[in-house]
Amino acid sequence: MKILRSLLSLMLVLVATVLVSCSGPTASVPEVYTPEKLETIKIYRIPVDIAKKEIFTLSGLIGDENWTDVKSVIHGPLGLLRRDLRYLSEALLPDDKEKSLEISEDLFLRLENLDAAADEKNYSNAIAAYNKAIADLDAYVQLIPNT
Task: Answer whether residue 102 shows pLDDT above 70.
Answer: yes
- For the CA atoms of 133, 137, 140, 142, what is the dihedral angle to 10 degrees? -130
Task: Answer whether residue 30 shows pLDDT above 80.
Answer: no
Res 40: pLDDT = 92
Contact 44, 145 (CB under 8 A): no
Each residue of 132-142: pLDDT tens digit? 999 999 999 99
Task: Measure the CA–CA gap between 68 and 74, rounded to whole angstroms.
Answer: 10
Task: Measure the CA–CA gap between 115 and 94, rounded to whole angstroms.
Answer: 31
Would you kindly state where each structural domain of the chain is located, as residue ranges? 32-143
If pLDDT is split at 50, 70 and 90, which confidence band does 6 have? confident
Regarding pTM above 0.85, the answer is no
Res 7: pLDDT = 66
State the chain's mean pLDDT as an integer: 88
Mean pLDDT of 75-84: 91
Task: Measure the CA–CA gap between 141 and 63, rounded to whole angstroms.
Answer: 25
In the CATH scheme, what is the code of domain 32-143?
A: 1.20.120.290
DSSP H/E element including 95: helix 94-120
Task: Answer whether residue 27 shows pLDDT above 90.
Answer: no
